[in-house]
Amino acid sequence: MSEFHVRAVAEGEQRACLEVLEQALHAKPISDEDWAKMAPSWPAAGKFAAFDDHDTPVGISSSFDIELTVPGGRKLVTAAVDGVAVRADWTRRGILTTMMSAQLEDFAARGVPLAALHASEGVIYGRYGYGAATFDRGVFVERPRAQVRDGVGRDGVVRFVTPAEAVERVPALYNRFEGTRPGFAARPAQWWPGFFDRLVTGDGGYRVAIHSGPDGDDGFVVYQTIDTRDRTAPERGAILEIRELHAGTPEAWAGLWRFLLSVDLVSGVAGRGRPLDEPIAALLTDPRAVNTTEIIDELWVRLVDVLTALRARTYGTAEPVVLEVLDKQLPDNNGRYLVGPGGVERTTAEAELRLDVAELASLYFGQGFFRDLVVAGRIEVLDEGAVDRADALFHTARAAWCGTFF
C-alpha cells in the first residue's frame, strides 16, 4: 500500500489541494474563473496537506486566524479551520488524524488559544477535542400570515445594491457591528473574496439589500428567490431564501425583516443558520407564522490553550468549581482548574468534575448544561454539588451564534 506524508502546503500547491476538497465535497471541478476569485482566500499559509509517493495531494486541512467574541465580550484569536478533506481513495488510513495533529501542534506553537470549525458530520471531530459549542436554527416564515407589528422596523430605508457595490460596502459595514454576542466572528480581509464576493458576483442570482437608519447604513441581507410556481399552482409563489442577514441595531434588524416579508409573489421566507434566539415570532402579529425547520450544531470549538481560553471569558454568580481536564492530543492542558467569577487558575485542589477537553469545549460558549453531559455519562462527578455550580458559572442567557461560514 502506498504511503502518505503530511507537510505544510508550499506556494503554488493550493489549487491542487482545493481540487481534493471540491472532489470530496462532490462539487464541480474548479474553473479558472472561480479559482481567480477563490485564490485570495486560499493562501498556502495555514494549510497542511497529505501527499502520496509522487507528491500529489490526497488530503488537505486548512485554517486562517479570526477573532471570536467569547462570553463577556472579549475577542479571542481563533484558528478558523476550513477546507478539510481526504480523497475518497485514501480515506480511513489515518490521514485526517495526522493532519489534525500537525494542525493542533501548529496552533499551540503559535499561541492560538482556540480553534473552531463547521463540521460536515457530527461524528468526526470529537476525537480531536472539538465539541459542538454553538447552535443555529432553520426558519420558514409563511408570508401570507406574517404581518410585522405596527411601529417597528419602519424608520429606516432598504435599498438594493449591485454586486460590485456590495463587495465594496458590506465588509466595512459588517466590521462596524462589533458583536457582543458570544460566537460573533470578526471577518478578516482574507475571508471576503472566497465567501462573500464569490457568492454575490456568482451566477446564483443573489441580491444584496442594505438598510440605512438615522446614522447611515446599519444592516444588510443577501438572499435569493426560488420560484416554485407553476401553471397549476400560481399562488404558490417563490421562496425567498436568506443567505446572510446581519444588523447593527434592533431597528435595522426589524426593518430588514419587514422588507423581506413585503416582497411580492413570495409565499415564504426561509433562513438557515439563524440565531436560536432571533425574535422573529415576537415581531409578528401572528407568531404561528414562524416555523422552526431545524436546530443544528453550528461551531465546533477546540480549546487549544485551556487556561488562556477559560481566563478570557466571564462567569455567572456561584462558588468556584474545580474541573479536571483530560486532553490526549495536547497534554499541556491536562490538569485541574479552579473556575469562579473572580477568575481562573490552575490548582492542586481535589477535582469535583472530571471531563475531556471536548466536553469542556462544548460548554465553553455558555450553551448546553453540565447536568446534561453528566446524565449522558460524559462527565465524571466527584462532588455532586459541583454540577449546579458549574452550570451557574458557565451558562449564558444570550444564545451564542457565529453566523459566519468558513
Q: Which residues are catalytic?
A: 125, 406
According to the binding rule CB under 6 A, does residue 305 interact with ligand ACO? no
Among the listed residues 77, 57, 66, the one whose alpha carbon sits nearest the alpha carbon of residue 10: 57
DSSP one-letter string for 244-295? EEEESSHHHHHHHHHHHTT-TTEEEEEEEEEETT--HHHHBS-GGGEEEEEE
Measured from the CB atom, the residue of 29 and 234 that comes closer to ligand ACO is 29
Question: Least distance to ligand ACO from the beta carbon of 80, Å?
Answer: 9
Chain center to CA of 91: 26
Is 95 annotated as belonging to a binding site?
yes
Question: Least distance to ligand ACO from the beta carbon of 356, Å?
Answer: 16
Q: Evaluate whether 253 touches 219 at the Cβ level (below 8 Å).
A: yes
Is 3 annotated as belonging to a binding site?
no
| Residues within window 36-95 making contact with ligand ACO, judged by CB under 6 A | 81-86, 91-95
Measured from the CB atom, the residue of 105 and 142 that comes closer to ligand ACO is 105
Question: Least distance to ligand ACO from the beta carbon of 320, Å?
Answer: 34
Measured from the CB atom, the residue of 9 and 139 that comes closer to ligand ACO is 9
Question: Least distance to ligand ACO from the beta carbon of 299, Å?
Answer: 10
CA angle 271-189-214, nearest 5°? Answer: 60
Is 396 annotated as belonging to a binding site?
no
14-33 footprint of ligand ACO as x/- string (CB under 6 A) = ----------xx--------
The grid coordinates of residue 169 equal: 460596502
Is 272 annotated as belonging to a binding site?
no
User: Cα–Cα distance between 227 and 239 in angstroms, integer?
Assistant: 6
Give SS3 for 221: strand
Is 241 annotated as belonging to a binding site?
no
| Residues within window 90-129 making contact with ligand ACO, judged by CB under 6 A | 91-97, 117-121, 123-124
Give SS3 for 224: strand
Give SS3 for 334: coil
Q: Evaluate whether 129 touches 301 at the Cβ level (below 8 Å).
A: no
> Could you tell me how many residues of this chain bind ligand ACO (CB under 6 A)?
22
Query: Can you give the binding site for ligand ACO, defined by CB under 6 A?
Result: 24-25, 81-86, 91-97, 117-121, 123-124
